[in-house]
Structure 1
């Protein structure tokens, strides 16, 4: 399986690499990860990270490492997650602290949505978000998602945001 490289004006979305784990481990060891499966110790973090990376081989999609095109700095990851127990493919993201609030996650998520739309023909993606994670909920809504209480989450109370991927006709955009 060849993992694509996607580019936006400021970002390169690329295959995960082992060096990414150090950033991932730091994020998931911190309290910032409390809405994202964490906090996790290094061993459990590695298991979760490796399982996410394996999605590329097992399912043909996964998370992209996210780099600043100008500096090469690692900024986080954005992609499609579907570990065991998830009801369907999920659009998700995280950025390192120094990258927060700069629109990187939104820019990368839009690129991933476009890639999924052209690559898979799926009718939708979902974002499954802890209700206390107001920043991620706001981002998913800014991306055009709609809260859909009829769709299942993973944990009780999850906010499930539906991202429609089907082409819309001009009359559908009222």
Structure 2
């Protein structure tokens, strides 16, 4: 699957872009649970991520690399994770810190949501940590609304469950 916006191409990851994925892991907020950050042994390594890209061929859902049309630089990812909430897809996105605040997450997510709607999905979910105000703003811009579902986590911050009807 390849999607295009005014400034971005959303496409499957290439093995040589594992370094970008590793940078995303390294830049994650320390409040993110440890299984989503680089561990004390340095895992995942670039080699681990290269292997993951090789062994997980693109499908109709998944996390697509966000490539800027202007210079070909990969700035993060956006896509759908299948069946995480009530059997319906979940929107996920993450950008390298130096590209925050430029509207790329919103732009990419709008393309993914349009693809989801045209593919017959009726609703999409997104989860976000309560402390992640930037992602909460993106989700609000996209029309997601917070539900009454909260996944409590006193150590890493509660996870809010949001939804959007397509």
TM-score norm. by structure 1 comes to: 0.76
User: How much has 1:29 moved relative to structure 2?
Assistant: 2.1
Q: Deviations over 1:53-77 (max 9, x none)?
A: 83844xx310110011011011100
Secondary structure of 2:161 counterpart: strand
Aligned Cα root-mean-square deviation (Å): 2.6
Selected match of 1:25 from 7, 22, 25 = 22
User: How much has 1:31 moved relative to structure 2?
Assistant: 4.1
User: How much has 1:12 moved relative to structure 2?
Assistant: 0.6
Return 5+ residue gaps in structure 1 as ranges. Answer: 166-174
Higher strand share: 2
Secondary structure of 1:32 counterpart: coil
Selected match of 1:54 from 52, 56, 61 = 56
Question: Which protein, 1 or 2, shows the higher relative CO under an 8 Å CA cutoff with sep ≥ 6?
Answer: 2
Secondary structure of 1:114 counterpart: helix
* Separation of aligned partners in 2, 1:68 and 1:30: 20
Higher helix share: 1
Secondary structure of 2:15 counterpart: coil
Secondary structure of 2:115 counterpart: helix
The residue that corresponds to 2:99 in the other structure is: 99
User: How much has 1:89 moved relative to structure 2?
Assistant: 1.8
* Separation of aligned partners in 2, 1:158 and 1:32: 14
* Separation of aligned partners in 2, 1:72 and 1:34: 31
Return 5+ residue gaps in structure 2 as ranges. Answer: none
User: How much has 1:33 moved relative to structure 2?
Assistant: 6.5
Q: Structure 1 segments of 4 or more deviating over 6 A? A: none
